[in-house]
A = this chain, B = another copy of it.
Amino acid sequence: MEINLKPVARVKNSRTTSLDDEWGAIISEIILAEDIPDNAFQHILDFSQLEIIYYFDKVKENKTQYVRRPRGNPDYPEMGIFAQRNKDRPNQIGLSTVELIWHRGRSIGVSMLDAIDGTPVLDIKPVYKEFRPSVEIRQPVWVADLMKKYF
């Protein structure tokens, strides 16, 4: 089974190369693809948060290591690819929960998006409170260390 997708939008921001950290200052514009009508964003400002699903188009295909230490850091354990968010993964899909700042016509402005300039966007969904986990999130200790300079 093969699934064929097309970008619905593109990311525009000031980050042109892939870097691990310091995404906090970056505001991104997400611009609709030509074949998507303007009204696809109608009333989007009713929501404060969005989920952005995007495609790591700069990642070389078939580079996936199914088990690896996150960021290659010898202090972290060997985790399966589905137990980490490393970008070298099957299907090369990225996902960020972002804050919506503005909407003007065919563009929205967001923060907290960790995708570089030109990244193809596959989908945009509003965050519904009812889908948020109600229980405490449990995660291994290395995550806090890995994330300490991320935003």
Q: What is the interface of chain A, defined by CB distance below 8 A to chain B?
A: 1-8, 36-37, 39-44, 46-51, 53, 55, 66-67, 77-85, 89-91, 93, 95-97, 99, 112, 120, 122-133, 135-140, 143-144, 147, 150-151
Contact = CB atoms under 8 A, between A and B. Distances in A.
A125 B82 contact: yes
Copies in the complex: 2
A129 B125 contact: no
B83 A123 contact: no
Given A3-B6, A140-B47, A147 B135 contact: no
Contacts of A1: 6-7, 120
A43 B140 contact: yes
